[in-house]
Each structure stands twice: as structure tokens, then as C-alpha cells.
Structure 1
Amino acid sequence: MSGFSANLGFLWTELSLPEAIRAAARAGFDAVECHCPYDTPVEEVKAALEETGLLMLGINTERGNLAAGDNGVAAIPGREEEARALIDQAIAYAQAIGARNIHVMAGFAQGNAARESFVENLHYACDRAAEHGITIVIEPLNHYDAPGYFLNNADQAAEIIEAVGAANLKLMFDCYHIQIMQGDITRRLEQFMPIIGHIQIAAVPTRAEPDNGELDYRHVMRSIRALGFTAPVGAEYRPATTTEAGLGWMTKIA
């Protein structure tokens, strides 16, 4: 499988999740992914996926208490019980709709205690997910969009993946975040490809459609394919206007 996956956390947000899945199919995407689908009944999502033939590549764990500013809780000491309940919720939903990956959100935390909490919660997530053939992914976020987020670079993620030591724990390599925090995208893709489970793209620094900005995604996509990554690449960008108006990038960088 190749091509692109529509991230429905940012694309077609004016539509319900099932209708957004149908819109992505009409637009020519090869797969879909989303952030937190839990307010939508599983049966409706499953029906839309079956109707369109699209695969749901991945979902996120719930972010936690949004009113309190949470962006995940898995690396926050003292909230292990909550983190594991959110992991269980994500695994059950992913299993029901056939999603391949779950992004376990770390949250805002720092220090050794946070690392220990994250590692232990990832052990739990990987053990439970392995029973269903699901991969757990972790994603570094840049410190402009998510200041104080525990996981902020690919080297840190690689160290945690090694520490957990689970075959189904991988890196979600978001080119937008990695370019802002570390740069040198082509070499970093080569360096981390053995542990990459999913790749996402967006323009840098605007996070708009990936056919503008400081990264040449034509080159990036050639590098990704040359390295043997054949899964759909996630389009996780914020449309400059409407989703449909900006879809010309799909033929420009493929």
C-alpha cells in the first residue's frame, strides 16, 4: 500500500467522522486516521470504512481533562490509573474498527519521574495492544505548538522505545514537528526508519498544505519510498482555507 492518509483531526472537521471518511475516499486518499473518535459510535465509523474500503491507520488516546489543559496523561506521575483506562479505551475502539496504530499521548511533564511513568504505561499499552495485533506509537511534538510536552525530539523517543523493548512500540515521525525541533529531515528519516511506525507531513512553519514552506516534500517523499516505507503517509495539516480547495498538493508531491 502507498499514497496518503487523510488525518481527519484536521481535514473535513466540519463533517461528522463517518462523512469525513467518505469525503476522504472521494478525494482519492488511500487511508484515514484521526485523533479522538470516541464520541462517534463504533458502528458508524466501521460502516463508513467498510463502505469506502479505507483503512483507519490510527487513533490517539484521549487527551485527558481538556478544561485543565491536558494533552495526554501517560507521562504524568500519579495519573497511571487514568492513563491505563484511556489506553484500554483506545485499544477497544481500535480493535472494533480495525485501526492499526494507537498514539499514546504523553502529556505535559518533565524529569525522571515522568519518564518512568511513561515507560511503565507504555509497557502496559504494548502488552495489551499486542493481544490484538495493534502497534503503539509515540510522537515528539515541537515546543512552539506544545510547550512543556514531555516528548519533544526523535532521539528521546528512540531511547524510550529501546527502554520499553516491545516489538509493537514505534515512532510516529511527524516531519513538521521534527523539522522544527531538529531539522535534517532526510538523514533523520534514514536514521530512525527501523523504528518508524507512521509518518506525517505538513508545511513548515505554517502547518498548512505540504506543497509550500521550507521543506520540499517532493524530495522527502522520494526519500521515504527509497528507504522502503510503503504505508500511506499521513496528511496532518491545517487547511489554509477549505480542505477541498487545497488538495492540489496530492499530485504535486506524490
Structure 2
Amino acid sequence: MNRRNFVRDNLILSGALSLGTAGLFAQNTRANNKVPEVSETFKLKYAPHLGMFKASAGDDPINQLNFMADMGFTAFEDNGMKGRSIQLQEQMANTMEKRDITMGVFVAHEISWNKPNLTNGDASLREKFLKEIKESIEVAKRVNARWMTVVPGHVDLRLRKGYQTANVVESLKRACALLEPHGLTMVLEPLNFRDHPGLFLTDSPQAYEICKAVDSPSCKILFDIYHQQIQEGNLIPNIDASWEEIAYFQVGDNPGRKEPTTGEINYKNVFEHIHSKGYQGIVGMEHGNSRPGKDGEQAVINAYKASDTF
């Protein structure tokens, strides 16, 4: 018997006892909406997020996770996981374990979008950041996460860049001392100048330099292909140059930040390249849907199927 079919059938059987209506979701959805029973799995671990399949799965996060698994997705990411109730975190973790879904990133700390955070060396801001990292360790344990997103914040216009870099590196080293004993990794996300003007971390070479300076398995790069297409382009060579420090990818096409095949990025080539290099990590689907409703959600699934054929 196909393993995914076995898992699905057992979940449907046990769901009425353990999860109520959520456990019966996949069965009812297929009956009412003629959704394919189970999709073949993808070559890479593409990770949807809550809301991406809401029209098909409804509002309930557990139903959405089951729908993702039924559609062949084997990973999931949730920027807002830290803000969810402990009860919901545990329910989501249990569902992911049952459905063989790997938990991806969540945001580890409060990000300062319009003022300095880790860049200016302020001791109180550094301690606040470290406190939030400690809190995130507990969340990661609860939901079986290995990665958490960190963004150093806005530039400090009163400090030269070298001093800001030193301040960021020192804060990250202290965070790594907290993360390393638990085998957890913070991934630094460079963001583009157009969508997030004024942020300190923007380029993959800059992130690479910082990770080398921190020199810890708990500090790596989140290479968001959408952001780096806007910021620097030259995607595959820059991926290769940063490869040993990349721990996580996110995607979105440009322009529009929608699913692959809707913009200028040849995601089939990019996915094939990182797969050929032996990448076994997660590819976060950090984008919106180009069309609304169930048809738009099916278009997202179809786009990943088309981009994953290599």
C-alpha cells in the first residue's frame, strides 16, 4: 500500500475520535468538492502557510494542514506560530507529526521595520532580543521546529556600517549560545530595498559575511529568492556563492510576489539546480495567490507541480 494513502486512511479513521470534525475534513472535502484524494509528493519540501488554501480547507488550521498533506506537501511554515495559543501549537504539532509534515520557520522576535534594533548596540534592545530568542526556543520545542527567522532591523544612520555589522554579529553570537545546545538554527533573511526600505540586511554576500563572522551552526542564511531577485539578481551564481551558509529557501515570483510561473523567475531551473546540489531542506512558499478562491488555490498547486518536473 502507498504510504501516504495508508497515513491518510488511518487519519480519517482516527480523526473522528481524536480531532472531531477536523479529522473528517479530508474525507468530506473530497466528497463535496471532488478534490483529488492524494497528490504525489514533490521532489523538494515546499511549505505552504495558513490561509493559502483557505477557500478549499476552511478557516481551521488543522483542516488546512490536512489539506496540504492531501495535496502532497510535506512541509509547512508559519511566521505567526509564536503568537498562537499553546493549545493550538500543540494541536498543529500533533497533526504535522501524524501527516509527516516538517515544520519550517516561524519569526523568532519582534522585528523593527522603521528603527534600529540589533544594529546600534543598544544593550536594552539586545537583551530584549535575547529574551525573545529564549521564548522562541520553547515554541520550537513545542512544534518540532528547527529553524526560526531573524531580521536585524533598520539601519542606524548615525553609525558607520562596520560598527553596525559588529553590533549585529555580537548579538547573534549571544543568541547562538542559547540556540546551540538545542540544535536550533536562526536563519537571517536579507530583504529587498523596494518592499522594505532602510533595513540593514539586504544582500546575500552581506548575510554570508555575517554568518562567517558569527561562525556557528545556529546562524545561517534564509535565501528568499523573491527578495534577492529584486535586490541583486544573478540568482543561481549567488546561491552557489552563499551555498555553505544557506539553511533555508523561500520563494515568490517577481513582479507580484505570487506563485512560480506568474513572473520572470525560471523557478523550474532554480529548483532543479538546488535539488541537484543535494538540498534536502525546506522551500517556503512565502507569497500570495495570483487568483482568488478554489481555482486560484489549484493554480498554486499546479504551478508547483509544473516547476517541480525535472
Consecutive unaligned residues in structure 1, runs of 5 or more:
none
**Structure 1 residue corresponding to 2:104, chosen from 29, 49, 57:** 57
Residues 1:180 and 2:230 are matched in the alignment: yes
Report if the CA contact (8 A) 2:115-2:153 is conserved.
Answer: yes
Task: Indicate how the Cα distance of structure 1 residues 91 and 162 shifts in structure 2: closer, same or farther if over 3 A, else same.
Answer: same
Give the aligned CA root-mean-square deviation in angstroms: 2.3
Task: Indicate how the Cα distance of structure 1 residues 72 and 3 shifts in structure 2: closer, same or farther if over 3 A, else same.
Answer: farther
Match of 2:146 in 1: 100
Match of 1:171 in 2: 221
Instruction: Write the distance in 2 (CA, Å) between the matches of 1:64 and 1:143.
Output: 16
The one-character-per-residue Cα deviations of 1:15-64 (angstroms, maximum 9, x if unpaired) are: 35444322321222111111121232232222221232211022111335
User: Identity of counterpart residues, as a percentage?
Assistant: 26
SS at match of 1:60: coil
Report if the CA contact (8 A) 1:138-1:171 is conserved.
Answer: yes
Question: Equivalences for 1:37-116 in 2 at 5 Å?
Answer: 37-40=81-84, 41=86, 42-64=89-111, 73-75=117-119, 77-78=121-122, 79-110=125-156, 111-116=161-166
SS at match of 1:58: coil
Match of 2:203 in 1: 153
Q: Which shows bigger deviation, 181-190 or 118-127?
A: 118-127
Q: What TM-score, normalized by structure 2, do the two folds share?
A: 0.74
Question: 4+ residue stretches of structure 1 with deviation over 6 A?
Answer: none
Instruction: Write the distance in 1 (CA, Å) between the matches of 2:233 and 2:51.
Output: 24
Q: What TM-score, normalized by structure 1, do the two folds share?
A: 0.89
Cα distance, 1:232 vs. partner?
3.2
Instruction: Write the distance in 2 (CA, Å) between the matches of 1:219 and 1:171.
Output: 21
Larger radius of gyration: 2
Higher relative contact order (CA 8 A, sep 6+): 1
Aligned length: 251
Q: Which shows bigger deviation, 149-158 or 228-237?
A: 228-237
The one-character-per-residue Cα deviations of 1:84-138 (angstroms, maximum 9, x if unpaired) are: 1111111110122110111112112243443233212211221211111111210
Question: Equivalences for 1:200-239 in 2 at 5 Å?
Answer: 200-239=250-289
Consecutive unaligned residues in structure 2, runs of 5 or more:
1-41
Report if the CA contact (8 A) 2:221-2:248 is conserved.
Answer: yes
Q: Which amino acid aligns with 1:252?
A: A
Report if the CA contact (8 A) 1:2-1:232 is conserved.
Answer: no
**Structure 2 residue corresponding to 1:117, chosen from 154, 158, 167:** 167
Task: Indicate how the Cα distance of structure 1 residues 9 and 241 shifts in structure 2: closer, same or farther if over 3 A, else same.
Answer: same
